[in-house]
Amino acid sequence: MSFTANVKTEVLGLSLSDLESRACLSAIIRNIGSVHNKVIKIATENSSLAKYISNFLKEVYDVNPKIVVRKGYNFNKNYLYIIEISYKTDLIISDLSLDTNIPKEYLYDDNELLRSYLCGVFLSCGSINDPKKSRYHLEFLVDNKKYAYFIMEKLNSYRLNSKVLKRETKYMIYVKEAEKIGDFLRLIGASKAVMYYEDIRIYRDHVNMTNRLNNCEQANVEKAINASFEQIREIELLKKHDVYDLLDDKVKQAAFYRIKYPDVSLTELSEIITIETGNKITKSGLHHRMRKIKEMAKKIETKERY
């Protein structure tokens, strides 16, 4: 099973009150159902969701819906479960606010009802990437712009930073931030999914941080080596033009140790010189001496160009 399917299975196992179930079912039918000639049809490939819808209709409205199982179209091997309600539909349509594009406020006017409504949105048209296999991504695909912005507004009331994107004939509401996706899973009560998701997210963040530190360290090493090679080149240039002996003894000492230890940074080189000579020198002091070599080498190069 996919991560999305696992999350939906967990959510379908939650215990909801009648009012919460109404809010959830309203979102489900709004997104994967249709109403025509007072007949409600709901189509889903999720057998657990089909069972959940059917059981709720029986318990709350005393309706035994007709269920048809078909093979998926376009080489889709999954079965399609079609739930059909042909009586008491006026009551169901009114009760679940299916006759309006945006649901009536009584279906989401407190925190628990809104969370249940968003559960229904996820169950019907939501998907979430497995954090172990790909980038962080949560999305809901709906058929109406106004409704898309309604869902975005409700998600963002929980500071999830969702956005809307036009996708051909539909609208996608999506969340990209890993922490916000984890917050959404908490919001809909998918506690097992939260534990799995957060474990993977923390591990990936740790790996990414380690890689960044390693890349930074490697960049610093390469920078130090390049600087060392440039300093050695400048020293050799001074020797080639017989001006090396014009350097004072402290600068010559720095030049000697730079050539002797070409692969170390200035910080390491200052420590080596301090240990081997017994005379303390800081990185700043060593840098000052190397700068004198650089300035003299630059004068020579300027004269060579002209």
The domain spanning residue 91 has which CATH number? 3.10.28.10
108 domain-assigned: yes
Specify if 197 maps to a domain: no
Domain end residue (candidates: 142, 163, 189): 189
d(C-alpha 262, C-alpha 298), whole Å: 21
- Residue 252 buriedness (CB in 10 A; 0-12 / 13-18 / 19+): middle
Confidence (pLDDT) at 200 = 82
Domain presence at residue 39: yes
Per-residue model confidence (pLDDT) at position 244? 85
Tell me: do 91 and 184 sit in the same domain. Answer: yes
State whether residue 45 is helix, strand or coil: coil
Q: Is the same domain home to 32 and 137?
A: yes
Task: Tell me whether residue 160 is in a domain.
Answer: yes
- At residue 18, the pLDDT reads 87
Q: In the chain, how many domains are there?
A: 2
Note whether residue 198 is domain-resident: no
In a shared domain, residues 154 and 266: no
54 and 110 together in one domain = yes
Per-residue pLDDT of the chain (306 residues; tens, 9 = 90+): 789 999 999 999 988 888 999 999 999 999 999 988 888 999 998 889 999 999 888 888 888 899 888 876 655 567 889 999 988 999 999 999 998 889 999 999 999 999 999 999 999 999 999 888 768 899 999 999 999 999 999 999 999 999 999 988 899 999 998 889 999 999 999 989 988 888 887 777 766 677 776 777 677 777 878 888 888 888 988 888 888 888 888 888 988 988 888 888 888 888 998 888 888 989 888 889 889 889 888 888 887 776
Contact 188, 119 (CB under 8 A): yes
Say whether both 153 and 225 belong to one domain: no
The closest of 188, 157, 156, 162 to 175, measured between CA atoms, is 162
Q: Same domain for 245 and 283? A: yes
- Give dist(CA 182, CA 188) in Å, integer: 10
Q: Are residues 176 and 217 in the same domain?
A: no
CA distance 55 to 51: 6
Task: Examine the domain organization and report whether 117 and 31 are in the same domain.
Answer: yes
pLDDT value of position 269: 85
196 in a structural domain: no
Give yes or no: residues 135 and 217 share one domain.
no
* 171 falls within a domain: yes
Please check whether residues 255 and 295 belong to one and the same domain: yes
Same domain, 103 and 236: no
DSSP 80-110: EEEEEE-SSHHHHHHHTTTTSSSPPGGGTSS
Range of 112's domain? 3-189
Q: Would you say residue 221 lies in a domain? A: yes
The predicted pLDDT at position 91 comes to: 92
Q: 94 and 220: one domain?
A: no
